Structure 1
Amino acid sequence: MPRPAAPWRALLSSNIQTLACPTFSLATVSNASGAAVPHVRTIVYRGFYGELPVTQYNPNPGNPGYSSDLIAFTTDKRMEKFNHLGGADGVPLSSSPSAGNNNVEACFWIPPSTGNPIIGKQWRIRGKCYVLPRDLDSNDERAENTKAWLIETIRKDGGGDGEQFDFSREYKAHFGNLSPPLRGSFRNPHPGAPKELGDQGLKSSRPIGDNELDEEVARANFRVCVIEPTRVEYLNLEGPSRTLWVPVGGEVEKIEQLEVVGKVTDGWREVDLWP
């Protein structure tokens, strides 16, 4: 049975729509020689997975009539970020040692439309981040596990789950939603490699047109990532007010001892906090 829409989702979506450029900060942690090393990046928000926004570049729409609570963005599999998110495509199996390496926090800042520029709204969203396999129809165990999880997570308008969702079409649509120069960046030389080492025979900085969306080199490196929220905090400095949502029965609810406070709506506990 599909999950109902999270109670915080509509408000977050309406706030993001006010941004001229919908970006957020993404915090990850990696381990280097036994020490935890933080990393923060600016990421372009690509919508909730399953309901891809329309852009002028994309001749291939995704899957209309679906929605989810998964926050989507895209990345190059060759980047350091991939290793910081667990170093493997897909949802880890319960026995996987990388299952705990993909904890992230996303932060959206929503400035006011007028008035004091520091009196805005902030969303902090903690959760698990997964790099979706390129081919979710393969027989690979992680791909099968990821597809089964997504089918249960995605909602179909009018009732139903993601059983009929076309994952290959969604992958191509996400690639098509990028501008031609950005698509071309996925066939650049290895991100972060010194230029003195050469271009590795790759055609750097050449755009990929709307009629070239099957370009193999770029698409082999291109990945869609999703964040599954496990803790959502909204701070409205105009109020001021501060609200927290956590899944009922989840680990965060227990750790923060929230079982007997707030109210419960559609599987989420909503708690008013002091600003």
Structure 2
Amino acid sequence: MSSIAPWKQALNSHIQSLACPTFSLATVSQAGGISVPHVRTLVFRGFYAELPVNKYNPVASNTGFRSNLIAFTTDNRMEKSRDLGGLEGITSSSLPTVTNNVEVCFWIPSNGENPVIGKQWRIRGRCFVLPRDLGSQDTGAKETKKWLVERLSNDNGGDGSDFDFAKEYKAHFGNLSPSLRGSFRNPLPGAPKEFGDGGLTPKSPIGNDQLDNEVALSHFRVAVIEPTRVEYLDLEGPSRTVWVPVGSDAEKSEKLESFGKVNGIWREVEVWP
């Protein structure tokens, strides 16, 4: 069972103030032995197991569960999945991969008149594209489910052993707009149009009565980021705070072992802006 991180409430509060909760995702892929950086703008889909309430979503999600995992959705055919190592699910060999190390950045603008003053959250972590069927006997699915259960907590006590992963997958799909749902049954993203549509002609939006569309669901995935270092910069203060897991590589590499205060598994250190 995972405990709620000390930085989570403040981060979530700031995200809720955004008209559109977007963040930047930085990844590094390998091409011909060369490291290639990529930055993308994604929509924050809540912390995993805490899908935001959407009155237009016809699919109910799990309730009473919590996690520190940042969730977003993606088309599994996109370059993004390949940049993350092409790994779907967690195995003993995927945990230490370099390619699934990412950093995200949230910018929270000030309510004042100066547009360059605000708050910034930078979060490093490991990103995993979750398998569609976490109930299968596939090794990646079984180990991913076990990994997730250990990172969920239940409001009534206990872990995430009673969490319905299939229900959560469907609820994330239902939480998207009909036009975005429909995009998951479009031709291969990024492919030149001269190659043709690959048998997948652009389709219309997927309404609430079409949430079982197999083509779209086969491409749709939920991804999560497990934070391994969190940094909060308040330019209005100014102040800057860093959280790292106690005993982690981040704590050791930044030589923070003797500073700040410990809250659960996290060390919180005030640093100069």
Q: TM-score, with normalisation over the residues of structure 2?
A: 0.97
The corresponding residue for 2:213 is: 215
Determine the C-alpha separation between the residues in 2 that align with 1:199 and 1:56.
35
Determine the C-alpha separation between the residues in 2 that align with 1:191 and 1:10.
36
The corresponding residue for 2:38 is: 39
Determine the C-alpha separation between the residues in 2 that align with 1:47 and 1:19.
13
- AA aligned to 1:51 is E
TM alignment of 1:152-231, pairs within 5 A: 152-231=150-229
> Sequence identity, in percent?
65
> Which of 126, 138, 144 is equivalent to 1:140?
138
The corresponding residue for 2:77 is: 78
TM-fit CA distance, 1:227: 0.3
Say if 1:137 and 1:144, in contact at 8 Å, map to a contact too: yes
Determine the C-alpha separation between the residues in 2 that align with 1:60 and 1:96.
32
Segments of structure 2 that go 5 or more residues without pairing to the other structure are none
Say if 2:91 and 2:139, in contact at 8 Å, map to a contact too: no
| 1:27 equivalent in alignment to 2:51 | no
- AA aligned to 1:83 is R
| 1:124 equivalent in alignment to 2:122 | yes
Give me the CA root mean square deviation.
1.2
Determine the C-alpha separation between the residues in 2 that align with 1:7 and 1:118.
27
TM-fit CA distance, 1:114: 2.5
Segments of structure 1 that go 5 or more residues without pairing to the other structure are none
Determine the C-alpha separation between the residues in 2 that align with 1:75 and 1:38.
19
When the two structures are aligned, how many residues end up with a matched partner? 273
TM-fit CA distance, 1:196: 2.0
The corresponding residue for 1:266 is: 264
TM-fit CA distance, 1:200: 2.0
Q: Which moved more, 1:107-116 or 1:201-210?
A: 201-210
**SS at structure 2 position matched to 1:151:** helix
Cα offsets for 1:129-149 (capped at 9, x unmatched): 000000001111111111001
**SS at structure 2 position matched to 1:121:** strand
**SS at structure 1 position matched to 2:77:** coil
Cα offsets for 1:22-62 (capped at 9, x unmatched): 00000000011111000000000000000101224311121
Q: TM-score, with normalisation over the residues of structure 1?
A: 0.97
**SS at structure 1 position matched to 2:170:** helix
Say if 1:86 and 1:98, in contact at 8 Å, map to a contact too: no
Determine the C-alpha separation between the residues in 1 that align with 2:147 and 2:252.
24
TM-fit CA distance, 1:98: 6.9
Cα offsets for 1:86-120 (capped at 9, x unmatched): 10211231x34972320000000000123211110
Determine the C-alpha separation between the residues in 2 that align with 1:96 and 1:188.
29
Determine the C-alpha separation between the residues in 2 that align with 1:256 and 1:175.
40
Cα offsets for 1:158-215 (capped at 9, x unmatched): 2111000000000000000000000000000000011122222223141001111110
Runs of 4+ in 1 over 4 A off after TM superposition: none
